[in-house]
Amino acid sequence: MPGKYTISYFPVRGRCEAMRLLLADQGQEWTEDVVTGEIWQKGDLKKSCVFGQLPRFQDGDFILFQSNAILRHLARNHGLYGQDAKEATLLDMVNDGVEDFRLKYVRLIYQNYENGKAAYIEALPGELRAFENLLAKNDGGKGFIVGKKISFVDYNLLDLLHVHLVLAPDCLASFPLLAGYVQRLNARPLIKAFLESDAHKQRPINGNGKQ
Ligand code: GTS
């Protein structure tokens, strides 16, 4: 029986790999509805999307758009939204920080890769420092980004760190807590299996071949 979740998206990691990491680590199955450029160019699907963009996510007959709303929905379904209202708000704050960081990455990849890459990498410690500091303040950096349990933000941040480790392989060299965090999360059995799967390994990070 197919799982109740379906991800409709272009054949890239992009804005969906964080939700895939979450689903894999939570032992969930999902269906990939791969939208090729050819299908998208026809325009009918775009017209049916609330904001004219993918990803589109289905939980049974509940249809959602906006990748961060999808992550939050899955967090509510699977107990990944903190232990109380205050922790949920802190998670929202950190996820907004992850989104700001992701938007800078997306702009580099799609708008300014050749001319902007060197300056982006130079400025990267300034972005990463905030997350290293957050980790340091939470149990000395031995656990998760907020609270004592894994949350949707950990999957979102982990994915963004993965793509930065491809862009700039040494970027965590001066951030020991973030480096340990990535290693620890990557070693969770279901995440490890997902990262080693062909589905993940063969999926390009971005739609224009830049990484
Ligand atoms: N804020 C949206 C989200 O988080 O879901 C952004 C979605 C978005 O930018 N989608 C792009 C899209 O549909 C694809 S990607 O940037 O996620 O790879 N582009 C096609 C189009 O026609 O706009």
Q: What is the mean pLDDT of residues 49-60?
A: 98
Residue among 16, 34, 40, 53 to mutate when testing ligand 1 (max atoms within 8 A of CB)? 53
**Tens-digit pLDDT profile for residues 131-174:** 999 999 999 999 999 999 999 999 999 999 999 999 999 999 99
Average pLDDT rounded to a whole number, residues 43-65: 98
Taking the whole predicted model, whether its pTM rises above 0.85 is answered as yes
Architecture of the domain whose range is 5-79+193-201 = 3-Layer(aba) Sandwich (3.40)
Q: What is the largest CA-CA distance in the chain?
A: 51
* Structural Rg of the chain based on CA atoms: 17
Q: Residues lining ligand 1, judged by CB closer than 6 Å?
A: 10, 14-15, 46, 52-55, 66-68, 207
CATH for the 85-188 domain, from 3.30.870.10, 3.30.70.3270, 1.20.1050.10, 3.30.43.10: 1.20.1050.10
Over 70: is that where the pLDDT of 1 sits? no
- Tens-place pLDDT, residues 56-76: 999 999 999 999 999 999 999
Sort strands 30-34 and 5-9 into parallel, antiparallel or unpaired.
parallel
Are β-strands 5-9 and 56-59 bridged in parallel, bridged antiparallel, or unpaired? Answer: antiparallel
Mean pLDDT of 102-106: 98
Those residues whose C-beta lies under 8 Å from the C-beta of residue 105, and which sit 6 or more positions away, are 160, 163, 164, 167
Same topology, domains 5-79+193-201 and 85-188? Answer is no
Annotated domain spans of the chain? 5-79+193-201, 85-188
